[in-house]
Structure formats: structure tokens, C-alpha cells
Amino acid sequence: MADFHQNGNIATLHNLRANSSEAMTHALTTFAQFRKISLILPSLYSELEAPALKNIVDELAQVPYLHRIIIGLDRADADQYAHAVKYFSRLPQEHVVIWNDSPRQKAIGARLEAMGLGPIEPGKGKNVWGCLGYLMACQDSAVVAIHDCDITTYHRDMLTRLVYPVANPNFPYQLSKGYYPRVGDGKINGRVTRLLVSPLLIALKKVIGDRDYIDYLRAFRYPLSGEFAMRTTMLPDLRIPSDWGLEIGVLSEAWRNLAPKSVCQVEIADAYDHKHQTLSPEDATAGLNRMSTDICKSIFRKLAADGTVFTTHVFRTLKATYYRSALDLLESYYNDAAMNGLSIDRHSEEQSIELFANNIMRAGEIFLSNPSETPFIATWSRVHAADPDLMRDMLKATADDYDDL
């Protein structure tokens, strides 16, 4: 049974095994009669060829409370788009596949670029941002959930528990963040959270002192989880990062826009596994190598916006403090794994720590060389102010792509 610990910064909603998934599903079905619930699935076409997504679709087909499912499809040609539409056709809910690489969607992108509001680079952030724009253009959902398409341990109960805190009208939460243990194949996973984010936040507190924002991030048990749900009232002013700092960026936006009592984390699974990124130590633009740099930049930018002054000396001290903190945590992870009959490869874990330590300096150097960098995609409220017809035209472009099939 899970504990019932509360950290005092944000609410933690545990799974105390005292309520059935059927009862929660029934409650959500009731809520959904007057608070429509939608789901966004950002997907690469390659994920349609993997077994994880097939199971996800099979599970979602049994969810009665979803009003709409929006699939953002990346890296697909015309034939692959047609296949994707057929692939998702077994979903009984209203659903739509947005072909992000279609000529019509690219024309929408060109309009945004002409106004200086286009996403900086392709990727998950751009995909999610576009799907959120489509959802807002529909103007009929009160709650939206987002999760990835590569979850190999997916069960529909994950979505039920994720959505419940923001769908329940008696709860104050505007955003819920999923958490779970990252255990699979006899190992403890979640390297970037364990070996980068947790020790980095500890080191930041030692080096720059107490910050409410640091305490806020430390309150999340799994800050890099890709599963979160929101009430749609917060979407128009939500800034989505265009790099790999999406999850930290969304949490930072919640920190900026919402009261702490409006944010919660919820236990959604006993075990969780998905497609693992490679470390890619030889390529700073790929894998966990790039991800770790982008996450560090995201945290540094937010702290700077709150008044923290960073210098080269601060980043050097931070790197050294992080390295010691990460090694101390690694000892705890190793002992925790051993006690639970799991394994940790200490050599590869220390290699990861060394790479992350270097990337703290690299991210710091990038930040100092371009402190005014704004890697966020424009908010949809700004886009609508600049081009009031664009969101309507997004709906039409998607409908016309369907008509061409």
C-alpha cells in the first residue's frame, strides 16, 4: 500500500487501494455529462508500427467518459496518414488525426512564421501545441489530458486517475501531474529524473539558496512524466517550450500562472515503462545528451526570470555540487534496488552523471551567451489576437485532409 505523505507544497493524491477503478470511471462518466473530457496523443508515425500503441488504443476504446481524442501525427507521408486514419478508426469516441506534415498544415505554419509566431523547431512541443490549438478551436472541452504513445505498460486506469482530480468539480485543481515508480526488466529506470533533476535541484538550493520555485519542483515525485491533465481555462495563456524541456516547462507555467493549491500530483500506476532514449554521449543533439541540456536551460531560464543572477563561477560551483549530490543519491538508489531485488549498473550510472555534469556547464554557457533566448512557442491567446481566423482555418485544414482520403 502506498504512503499518505504530503510535502506541503502541492497536493499528492495517492492510490490507497480503497476505491475501485470502476467507481472512479462511473464518477468521471457523470462529470463528463457537463464537463467534456478530451485526450491528446502526440505520435510519430513510427509508433503505429510498435506494439505499445496498439495496446493503448485497445485500452482507450474501453473508456466511456472521453468526448474526443486528438492524435497529432508527425513524420508521415500521404499514404502513412491514410493508414493512421484507418489505424485509429476502431476508437468509438469522436477522434481526429491531425496530419502535421500535410500541405494545408504546412501552410498554416507558414502563416505563423510570417507573423513571427511559428514554433522554432519540430518535435513533441510543437505537436502538443498544435493539438491544443485545435482543441481550443473546438470550444467544447473543459478538461484535457496528454500522454505519450510509447507506454508499454499502459492501462486505462492510468488515464482515469490522471483526469479525475481536474474533472471533479469539487476539487480545486487546474493541473494534475502523473507519477509512478519507474521499474522494469529487473532495473530501476528514470535516469534523467534520478541522476539529473533530483541532484540538480539539491545542488541549486545549496549554491543559490532557498527559492520557492526549487521547493516547488522538488515536491514532484516524477517531474519529467509525460502524463498530465489540465482544465482548459488555463490553455490560452500556456507557453509551450519548443525544445525537450516540455515537462519542466509546463510545470513552470503552472508555477507562474496558478496558485500552488491548484496543482496536484497523482499516483497513476504501480509500474511504468516506455521506449527508452539512448544516452548518446557522442552526439549533443540527440538522446538524453540533448534532453539533459534542454532541461537544465529550462530551469536556469525560469530561475533567472525570478531574479537569480547566474555567472560562469556560479555554474562551475553548481557543476561540482551537483556531481557530489548525484553520487550520494546513486548510493541510495543502489541500496534501494538491492533491497528490492533489482539491479543498477553503477558504472553506466556514473557515466551518465559525468555527462550530465558537463551538460550543466554547457547549458550554462548557452544561457550566458544568449540570455534573452525565448524558446517558448507563442501562446494561443497571442496567436488569436494576431490572426483571428487561424484557429478556424486549422479546423478546416484538418477536415479537408480527411475529405481527400
Domain boundaries, the chain: 11-101+119-377
pLDDT band at 143 (very low <50, low <70, confident <90, very high): very high
The CATH number of domain 11-101+119-377, selected from 3.20.20.140, 3.40.190.10, 3.90.550.10, 1.10.287.130? 3.90.550.10
Mean pLDDT to the nearest integer, 281-310: 87
Among residues of the chain, what percentage have pLDDT more than 90? 80
Closest CA to 226 of 262, 190, 280: 190
pLDDT at 1 over 60: no
pTM of the model: 0.94
Q: What is the pLDDT of residue 2?
A: 60
Closest CA to 318 of 209, 221, 391, 234: 209
Cβ-based neighbour number of residue 369 at 10 Å: 8
Q: What is the pLDDT of residue 93?
A: 97
Dihedral sign of CA atoms 372, 247, 75, 398 in order: negative
pLDDT in tens, 319-375: 999 999 999 999 999 999 999 999 999 999 999 999 999 999 999 999 999 876 666
